[in-house]
């Protein structure tokens, strides 16, 4: 196995470098090829002087960005382990011992992904004291959209935005929210945007085989959102990132299209396509997570010029309590510094990090100025870490 898949080999650190990152002063690669974005008030091209006001290229002058609001939303229906035991061969003890999960929320009635995303976004905007029309960009991180072409523009509409701000989806499964934070920081630090809304939302219940106790016990539905705002470089709250993917591991976790429904190559028109339920090799995903995630967090800390002792909270994608505990142990984070709400919601994919963050902020656990090491990991395989400061 170790030979077949790069993310399990001893040469992982060599294999995945250079990694993409952002430091406080701008964009950088891990080898330090680009240390910061350098710009001036004018642009010279082909001997012709073009003022910044005439150029389409924005000024990039030591910009930072900070987290100023958060929100979350979950479906009304709570499904307990005992409820699942009525439809599949399992028990509360079997599930909780192996995963740490006791309940999860599942959409019902007229609830859907967009409902959850919009409500989470409204709460984040209210906390940030930002009006929908003050947004420059909406990023919806999801792998389960209501529309195959994306839902971000529809979320924009339902929020009441009237200025045609850019809105688009990001698909990176359980790493999606971290990728959304990275994208938002790029738009702000490199594109001149001021207010960016990042939403992590997934409705995994639609892609779960409810007769398979190996997967149906894990997932839930939810949405979480944050507002990022431009600030001076000294106030920057997105300190560093470390991002990776490895398609070799895709076979261990995914929901592929059902090829057998497409007919032969010679048949036309093709039959209507559909996606399979979530398929997962739990043992391999566990090995991947406990090996790659600590290395990614260490890399992000190094880029930020920090160590684990400088971090107030460890916030991991809420996939499995055993994974969370194993990563925390390897990084020597004490349990009291680890944020986890997995027991109440299960694995909510791209929503898990912002959902847990929102609860921690609103409960007073995470306070302004606290530094958080966050990491997402999952299908793709993708994984990434961010060192952020709240407020």
- What is the three-class DSSP state of 295? helix
Confirm whether 174 is a catalytic residue: yes
**Residue appearing with tokens 């090799």:** 281
Q: Which positions ≥6 away from 68 have C-beta within 8 Å? A: 127, 128, 129, 130, 227, 228, 229, 391
Burial of 81 (0-12, 13-18, 19+ CB in 10 A): buried
Chain-centre distance for alpha carbon 165: 22
Q: State the Cα–Cα distance between residues 240 and 242, nearest whole angstrom.
A: 7
Contact indicator for 315, 356 with CB cutoff of 8 Å:
yes
Confirm whether 244 is a catalytic residue: no
Radius of gyration of the chain (CA): 21
If you count them, how many residues does the chain have?
Answer: 391
Greatest Cα-to-Cα distance within the chain, rounded to the nearest angstrom = 75
> Which of the residues 81, 320, 344, 347 is marked catalytic?
347
What kind and span of H or E run contains 22?
strand 20-23
Q: State the Cα–Cα distance between residues 31 and 11, nearest whole angstrom.
A: 17
Q: How far is CA 85 from CA 52, 79, 210, 272, in A?
A: 64, 10, 11, 34
In sequence order, what DSSP letters do the residues of 71-95 get, joined into one string?
Answer: EEE--SEEEEHHHHHTTSS--HHHH
Contact indicator for 78, 104 with CB cutoff of 8 Å:
yes
**Residue appearing with tokens 């194993």:** 326
CB atoms within 10 A of CB 293: 25
Q: State the Cα–Cα distance between residues 113 and 93, nearest whole angstrom.
A: 30
Confirm whether 49 is a catalytic residue: no
> Which of the residues 81, 317, 320, 341 is marked catalytic?
317
> Which of the residues 65, 161, 174, 186 is marked catalytic?
174
Contact indicator for 30, 18 with CB cutoff of 8 Å:
yes
Q: Is the bond into 38 cis (omega within 30 degrees of 0)? A: no
User: So which residues are the catalytic ones?
Assistant: 174, 317, 347
């Amino acid at each position: 196995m170790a030979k077949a898949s790069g993310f399990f080999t001893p040469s992982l650190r060599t294999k995945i470098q250079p990694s993409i990152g952002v430091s406080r002063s701008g964009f950088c690669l891990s080898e330090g090829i680009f240390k910061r974005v350098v710009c001036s008030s004018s642009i010279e091209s082909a001997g012709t002087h073009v003022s910044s006001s005439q150029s389409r290229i924005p000024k990039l002058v030591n910009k930072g960005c900070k987290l100023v609001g958060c929100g979350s939303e979950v479906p009304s229906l709570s499904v307990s382990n005992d409820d699942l035991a009525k439809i599949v061969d399992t028990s509360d003890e079997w599930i909780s011992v192996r995963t740490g999960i006791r309940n999860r929320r599942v959409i019902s009635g007229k609830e859907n992904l967009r409902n959850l995303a919009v409500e989470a976004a409204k709460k984040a905007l209210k906390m940030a004291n930002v009006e929908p029309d003050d947004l420059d960009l909406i990023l919806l991180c999801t792998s389960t959209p209501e529309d195959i072409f994306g839902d971000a523009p529809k979320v924009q509409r339902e929020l009441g935005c009237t200025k045609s701000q850019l809105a688009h989806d990001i698909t990176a499964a359980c790493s999606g929210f971290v990728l959304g934070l990275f994208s938002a920081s790029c738009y702000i630090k490199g594109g001149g945007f001021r207010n960016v809304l990042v939403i992590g939302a997934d409705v995994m219940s639609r892609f779960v085989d409810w007769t398979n106790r190996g997967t149906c016990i894990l997932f839930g539905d939810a949405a979480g959102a944050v507002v990022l705002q431009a600030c001076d470089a000294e106030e920057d709250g997105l300190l560093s990132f470390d991002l990776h993917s490895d398609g070799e591991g895709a076979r261990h976790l995914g929901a592929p299209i059902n090829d057998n429904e497409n007919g032969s190559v010679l048949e036309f028109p093709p039959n209507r396509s559909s996606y399979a339920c979530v398929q997962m090799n739990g043992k391999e995903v566990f090995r991947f997570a406990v090996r790659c995630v600590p290395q990614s967090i260490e890399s992000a800390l190094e880029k930020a010029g920090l160590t684990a002792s400088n971090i107030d909270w460890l916030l991991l994608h809420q996939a499995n309590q055993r994974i969370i505990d194993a990563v925390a142990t390897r990084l020597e984070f004490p349990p009291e510094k680890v944020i986890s709400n997995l027991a109440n919601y299960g694995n909510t994919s791209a929503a898990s990090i912002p959902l847990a963050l929102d609860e921690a902020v609103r409960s007073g656990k995470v306070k302004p100025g606290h530094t958080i090491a966050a990491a997402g990991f999952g299908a793709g395989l993708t994984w990434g870490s961010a060192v952020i400061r709240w407020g």
